[in-house]
Structure 1
Amino acid sequence: MTRLRAITTAAASAAMALAIAASGTASADAIGFFHYTYTAADGTEKKGEVHDQPDGECIDIEEAVADGTKPAHSPRNRTDKHAYLFEETDCGGQKFTVNADADGGANLKFRSIYFVSST
């Protein structure tokens, strides 16, 4: 009887460890690239990107946060996560969604991004 109880306890511990490991993968990084266009200080349009970003963390677009800069635009989401784009830094203002492996137009202006699971 003691041996059966030890086997049952070991099996329960293994199942709990597996459940904890599986739940940890739910907030995995946004794997892939997120491309955008921004206006440089000299007025020329340039391409920028972020890649393999943490899921659930607000990311400001470096080239679009300084005073007097224009927002980024023309997003191309080549990650495995949905991207929430915000018109202000620190994920403030109006929110727009660009699904995984989808694009937004030149009129979609944003200064920060937040990736979320596609499921």
Structure 2
Amino acid sequence: MEGYEASGFLNSPPSGQCLNLPGVGEDNPRPAHSPKNRTDAWATVFTGTDCEGDSFPLRPHTGGASERLKVRSVVFN
């Protein structure tokens, strides 16, 4: 993945289910960054896969974080 950066979206994500973000699992040393939440639900992003590690909540519609926040999974409430 060296030298490659991509944007991704989750369309109509299920509520209450942990989702590992595509392309940033344990096999890839580079996590995702700059998460944004444009859904109607609160989202909690996690530094590890399987919704483990440190977490950060993102409010509905406008929630987001900077490039400094590195994430690998998310759950929508």
Q: So what's the TM-score if we normalise by structure 1?
A: 0.60
**Alignment size in residue pairs:** 76
User: Mind listing any 5+ residue stretches in structure 1 that lack a counterpart?
Assistant: 1-40
Quick one: percent identity of the two aligned structures? 37
Q: How far is 1:42 from its partner?
A: 3.7
Matched, 1:112 2:77: no
Larger Rg: 1
Q: So what's the TM-score if we normalise by structure 2?
A: 0.90
- Larger RCO, structures 1/2 (Cα 8 Å, 6+ apart): 2
Q: Deviations over 1:6-31 (max 9, x none)?
A: xxxxxxxxxxxxxxxxxxxxxxxxxx
Q: What is the alpha-carbon root mean square deviation over aligned residues?
A: 1.1
User: Mind listing any 5+ residue stretches in structure 2 that lack a counterpart?
Assistant: none
Aligned equivalent of 2:56: 96
Q: Deviations over 1:57-93 (max 9, x none)?
A: 0000111004233110111111001110000000001
- Are the equivalent residues in 1 in contact too, given 2:26–2:49 (CA < 8 A)? no
Between Structure 1 and Structure 2, the one with more strand by share is 1
Moved over 4 A (4+): none
